Amino acid sequence: MRDVVAGYGGHPILHGVSFSVRAGETLVVVGPNGSGKSTLMKTAVGLLRPISGQVLFGEANVTTLGAPARAARGLANVPQEANIFRNMTVLENLQVGYEFVASHSAPSFGKRLDAVLDLFPEIRAKLRSTAGYLSGGQRQMVAMAAALMPEPSVLALDEPSAGLSPRNAEILFEVIGRVAASGVTLLIVEQNTRLGLGAADHGVVLVGGRIRLAAPAAEVLADPDIRRLYLGGA
Amino acid sequence: MGQLLVNGIVAGLLLALPALALSLTFSVLRFANYAVGSYLSCGAYLVYIGNVVLGMPLWLAASAGAALFAVIAVGIDWLAYRPLRDRGGVTLLVASMGVAIALENVIRFFAGNLPRAYNVPVARPMRFGDIRLNHEQLTILVAVFAALAVVWIIFRFTRLGRMMRAVADNPDLAAVRGISRSRVVAYVWLIAGMLTTLSGVLVGLDANVEPQMGWTYLLPVFTAAILGGIANPMAAVAGALTLGLAEELATLVMPVHYRMIVTFLVMVALLLVRPWGLFGTRWVTK
Amino acid sequence: MTVYLIATLTLVAIAALAGLALNLQWGMGGLVNFGLFGFYMLGAYIAGLLTVQGLPPLVALGVAMLGVAALSALSALISVRLSEDYLAIVTLGFAECLRLVISYEGWLTRGMLGVSGIERPLQAWWPRGWGDTGFLLLALLAVLIVYTVLQALARSPFGRLVRATRDDPGVVEALGKSVLGVRVRVFAIGGAILGLAGSLHAFYYSYIDPTQFGPIITAYAFMAVVVGGRGSNRGVVASAFTLIFLLEGSRFLIDLVPGLGASELAAIRLFLVGVGLVALLIFKPDGFGREPRSALADKTSSRF
Ligand SMILES: Nc1ncnc2c1ncn2[C@@H]1O[C@H](COP(=O)(O)OP(=O)(O)OP(=O)(O)O)[C@@H](O)[C@H]1O
Ligand SMILES: [Mg+2]
């Protein structure tokens, strides 16, 4: 992302944000509520057209491409809220995750389903349930699973641990770790700074729509200001 | 009594297809297409041209008319609604009133105000005990059930159906899952155009083909869709049947020409008590 | 020619009143009233029926305004908790039902036969042969009064509250004001103006029947508001006196265009209204007028 200014109704929320994620690495964006993290995510996945600046995907400039076109290039996203289709069954959620993106050379739906259900064994028994009736933790898993269905090369997660119990959050990050290990590039926005940065290669701190600090994750975690601000002084 | 039920079901079935079309477009586009009644009239007149002017059998004229009007519906969307897509439901609603007036007057200009009838063989009504079923009613029954079955199958079991339901459910998420909204919108108008044309033919069979026909169906169609919880297409069908029966049963206590008042009372009662629809769930209407 | 002109101007003045009413409800308040013609019709019938019963026309007019205001408030109450789409369809349903009742309850309304012999107010004031001109002056006076009242209302704190409810009901609610109350009052005031417009219609024609009232009245009002610019009273009056003047005037083209009957000409006119409405929404969304608020906003900002 290069010099991105973005916002709603002509009113900028991000004021010139630049960062990049190297292929196969994990970048975590942290920052206080309302600092523009979700806005940054929406701009990255193509739901929001930036007022100025560029969004690059590999070598290609995708600034003017919409979300469907970016999805077809291998960018998958789990938004912060409303991240499942509530009136559809879990299976249909996974199907929709797969069928509009997966290329012809991709593994078959059945293969991908098995692979993804191995990551989230809990939802295997729920395939026929309406997704809207699942618990918060299960919904988060369905959302992740659906995003992973087409074997994306980049996965963008907005607050994957929001609303989860500490135990579930840990399970989820374990899975995220495995996804990262399989070579997927990850862009994660996370409130849970410690957990998020713990899983990341690099960290970015976003405050008031500007990047305050960008460094390897361990450095960000160790930064005294950040510790004081976001880690409760620990 | 049995006769009343039959009549009520037929009345409900006549409402079912346009109500389905209305709620389908609402679910994807988030605006109530006030022109749905004019779509019905236009479709009926196109089929009239095929059937009476060009002399095709009705089924052929209906198929050709449905295909043609489906394309017209997409065209109207391109010209009138698409440029207004980001301006909110109310603006689109007012625009659809403009579309409705324009379409209705195209009809009046070319066809005049006189009622017309399709060219179909006249046949004696059938009797089952003391229940009478005429051929038009039978046609309505079969045609509507067939159309509903097709739409239901598309909805439940096909890629296209999942596409439409996904956009209706959560447009942003559908976009990041690779679904192009404009394609879905085009499909939705195609389907809505066909459904309204078919219902126009059936209404024309049941009564007459006249410029007013869509207008008289407007309020009941909206009420049926609201009964189903406006954004829930299949429930709109249930809403239509309920309303058809209610209207027919009300003739026991009210003069027939006050059907519309029954419809209105049903709508008002519903809006006061269960605004998210008889069959809808709360989250659907949000 | 002058006869045509006076007739057209009178109709335009009445349409301007309907436009002003809608401009308050929809333009300022964001409340879509698709059943506008029903309220207008109700006003016409109350005024007409009471006048032929022997009530002085001006008293009948007052009752019509109050009656329509009350029913408007009621219909707003049904649906104001819901989104605007519902209000649109409820008002439409209300209007349709009203038309049915008026058509069929002949003992009360004389049904399809219509009400005839409706006397105009203040007829005795004008010299013989000047009755139509006098009535036109009266209608223009009504437009002026309503315009002045609405302008004052738009600039008042209540006007600001109305616009705030339109733009962001949540904020108004958070400030502890009742959105419901605002909307009901807006609908009632608009209803009173529609009652006035309908009464003038009844007085002008001196004969009313259900076929005179239909969704076209609603369409004209929307046209006036869209052309004039939502929220701009001046724009609405201006657009009524230009656009609706042209549309109404085109009725008289009949003698000039050979080969077209009255109904074809009417169809063309209404087709243009429909297309024009959509085209304006697309290409000129703010109309040609300006909401009085902007003048006010300029003043407040220059103070600092
Ligand atoms: N759709 C929208 N329209 C207008 N403003 C919005 C919209 N979404 C967010 N905002 C505003 O943008 C700013 C940043 O919001 P954003 O959601 O990006 O923050 P965030 O960092 O993700 O916060 P959180 O930690 O709560 O998720 C906020 O001030 C918010 O009010
Ligand atoms: Mg956020």
Q: pLDDT of B80-107, one tens digit each? A: 999 998 888 888 999 999 999 999 999 9
Contact of B203 with B213, CB cutoff 8 Å: yes
Contact of A188 with A177, CB cutoff 8 Å: no
pLDDT number for residue C210: 93
Q: Is B275–C92 a contact, with Cβ atoms under 8 angstroms apart? A: no
| Distance of alpha carbon B189 from alpha carbon B183, whole angstroms | 10
Q: Ligand 2 centroid vs A119 CA: distance in angstroms?
A: 25
pLDDT tens per residue across span B39-52:
999 999 999 999 99
* Residue C118 structure tokens: 């409706």
Element (H, E) at B131: strand B131-133
Q: Chain A partners of B173 at a C-beta cutoff of 8 Å? A: 79, 82-85
pLDDT band at A3 (very low <50, low <70, confident <90, very high): low
C27 DSSP assignment: I
Whether the CB of B284 is below 8 Å from some CB of chain A: the reply is yes
- What's the helix, strand, coil split of chain A in %, to 5? 40, 25, 35
> Per the domain annotation, does C291 fall within a domain?
no
Min Cα–Cα distance to chain B from C97, Å: 6
Contact of A138 with A123, CB cutoff 8 Å: yes
| Distance of alpha carbon A107 from alpha carbon A149, whole angstroms | 10
B33 closest CA partner among B82, B78, B96: B96
In the sheet that holds A52-54, the strands lie side by side as A11-17, A2-8, A52-54
Whether the CB of B221 is below 8 Å from some CB of chain A: the reply is no
| Distance of alpha carbon A120 from alpha carbon A114, whole angstroms | 10
A44 closest CA partner among A144, A156, A197: A156
Integer angstrom CA distances of residue A17 from A54, A229, C248: 10, 21, 58
Instruction: Report which protein residue has its CA nearest ligand 1's atom 19.
Output: A34
Give residues (CB < 6 A) around ligand 1: A 8, 13, 31, 33-39, 80, 191
Contact of C229 with C286, CB cutoff 8 Å: yes
Q: What is the mean pLDDT of residues A130-155?
A: 90
* Residue A207 structure tokens: 């405050």
C127 DSSP assignment: P
C15 closest CA partner among C239, C214, C279, C278: C239
Element (H, E) at C4: helix C2-22
Average pLDDT, chain A: 84
pLDDT number for residue A60: 81
| Distance of alpha carbon C215 from alpha carbon B38, whole angstroms | 13
Q: Ligand 1 centroid vs A141 CA: distance in angstroms?
A: 24
A155 three-class SS: strand
A73 three-class SS: coil
Whether the CB of B170 is below 8 Å from some CB of chain A: the reply is yes
* Residue B277 structure tokens: 């629809």
Q: How many domains does chain C have?
A: 1
CATH class of the structural domain B2-273: mainly alpha
Please give the radius of gyration of chain C, using alpha carbons only, rounded to the nearest integer.
Answer: 19
More confident residue, B246 or A22: B246
Is residue B75 pLDDT above 70, yes or no? yes
| Distance of alpha carbon B183 from alpha carbon A68, whole angstroms | 11
Contact of C10 with C2, CB cutoff 8 Å: no
Maximum average pLDDT range among B109-113, C61-65, C227-231: C61-65
Q: Which residues make Cβ contacts (< 8 Å) with residue C170, sequence separation at least 6?
A: none
Is residue B284 pLDDT above 60, yes or no? no
pLDDT band at A7 (very low <50, low <70, confident <90, very high): low
> Per the domain annotation, does C60 fall within a domain?
yes
Q: What is the mean pLDDT of residues B17-29?
A: 93
Q: Chain C partners of B258 at a C-beta cutoff of 8 Å? A: 100, 104
Contact of A57 with A75, CB cutoff 8 Å: yes
pLDDT tens per residue across span B133-161:
888 899 999 999 999 999 999 999 999 99
Nearest-5° angle of CA C186, CA C188, CA C189?
70
More confident residue, A5 or C152: C152
CA dihedral A78, A80, A86, A91 (to 10 degrees): 20
pLDDT tens per residue across span B182-198:
999 999 999 999 999 99
Integer angstrom CA distances of residue B138 from A37, A41, B44, B143, C166: 60, 56, 18, 8, 49
Give the other-Cβ count within 10 Å of C283's Cβ. 8
Contact of C161 with C177, CB cutoff 8 Å: yes
Report which residue type is found at C188: A
Is residue C258 pLDDT above 90, yes or no? no
Q: Is B179–A66 a contact, with Cβ atoms under 8 angstroms apart? A: no
Min Cα–Cα distance to chain A from B183, Å: 11
Q: Is C278–B93 a contact, with Cβ atoms under 8 angstroms apart? A: no
Q: Ligand 2 centroid vs A232 CA: distance in angstroms?
A: 20
pLDDT tens per residue across span B59-72:
999 999 999 999 99
C300's torsion region: left (phi>0), alpha (psi -120 to 50) or beta? alpha
Q: Do chains A and C touch (3 or more CB pairs under 8 A)?
A: no
Residue of B169, B176, B283 lying closest to A47 (CB–CB): B176
Return the ligand 1 atom nearest residue A42 CA: 18
Return the ligand 1 atom nearest residue A40 CA: 18
Nearest CA in chain B to C97: B261
Nearest CA in chain A to B163: A96
Give the other-Cβ count within 10 Å of B145's Cβ. 12
Is residue A214 pLDDT above 90, yes or no? no
pLDDT tens per residue across span A31-74:
888 888 898 889 888 898 888 888 888 778 888 888 998 998 88
Average pLDDT, chain B: 90
Per the structure, the complete domain to which residue C172 belongs is given by 2-214
pLDDT number for residue A196: 79
* Other chains touching A, judged by 3 or more CB pairs under 8 Å: B
Residue of B159, B173, B178 lying closest to A83 (CB–CB): B173
Integer angstrom CA distances of residue B4 from B216, B252, C171, C200: 21, 9, 51, 45
Q: Which residues make Cβ contacts (< 8 Å) with residue B241, sequence separation at least 6?
A: B9, B12, B13, B16
Contact of B165 with B155, CB cutoff 8 Å: yes
Q: Is C104–B31 a contact, with Cβ atoms under 8 angstroms apart? A: no
Model ipTM value: 0.89
> Per the domain annotation, does C219 fall within a domain?
no
**Strands A210-216, B126-128: pairing kind:** unpaired
Min Cα–Cα distance to chain B from A87, Å: 7
Q: What is the mean pLDDT of residues C20-25?
A: 95
| Distance of alpha carbon A194 from alpha carbon A72, whole angstroms | 32
Is residue A21 pLDDT above 50, yes or no? yes
| Distance of alpha carbon B132 from alpha carbon B169, whole angstroms | 43
Is residue C297 pLDDT above 60, yes or no? no
More confident residue, B201 or C122: B201
pLDDT band at B26 (very low <50, low <70, confident <90, very high): very high
Contacts 24+ apart (CB under 8 A), B127-136: B129/B2, B130/B2, B130/B3, B131/B2, B131/B3, B131/B6, B132/B3, B133/B6, B136/B205, B136/B206
| Distance of alpha carbon C115 from alpha carbon B267, whole angstroms | 31
- Sorted by where each begins, the domain ranges of chain B are 2-273
pLDDT number for residue A229: 66
Give the other-Cβ count within 10 Å of A166's Cβ. 10
Maximum average pLDDT range among A157-166, C18-27, C237-246: C18-27
Element (H, E) at C188: helix C179-205
Q: Which of A197-201, B234-238, C97-101, C187-191 has the lowest mean pLDDT?
A: A197-201
**Bridge partners of B209?**
B116
Whether the CB of B159 is below 8 Å from some CB of chain A: the reply is yes
Percent of chain B with pLDDT over 70: 97
Integer angstrom CA distances of residue A157 from A23, A65, A71, A144, B63: 16, 20, 14, 8, 47
| Farthest-apart Cα atoms in chain B, separation | 58
Element (H, E) at A187: strand A185-189
Element (H, E) at C208: strand C207-208
pLDDT number for residue C304: 30
Min Cα–Cα distance to chain B from A42, Å: 10
pLDDT number for residue C179: 82
Q: Chain B partners of C222 at a C-beta cutoff of 8 Å? A: 94, 97-98
Please give the radius of gyration of chain B, using alpha carbons only, rounded to the nearest integer.
Answer: 18
Q: Which of A229-233, B205-209, B247-251, C231-235 has the lowest mean pLDDT?
A: A229-233
Start-to-end CA span in chain A (Å): 32
Is residue C203 pLDDT above 90, yes or no? yes
**Bridge partners of A185?**
A154
Is residue C79 pLDDT above 80, yes or no? no
**Bridge partners of A77?**
A156
* Residue A68 structure tokens: 């469907």
- Sorted by where each begins, the domain ranges of chain A are 81-152
B140 closest CA partner among B18, B226, B286: B18
Contact of C149 with C20, CB cutoff 8 Å: no
* Residue A24 structure tokens: 């196969």
pLDDT band at A202 (very low <50, low <70, confident <90, very high): confident
* Residue C279 structure tokens: 């085209």
Whether the CB of B110 is below 8 Å from some CB of chain A: the reply is no
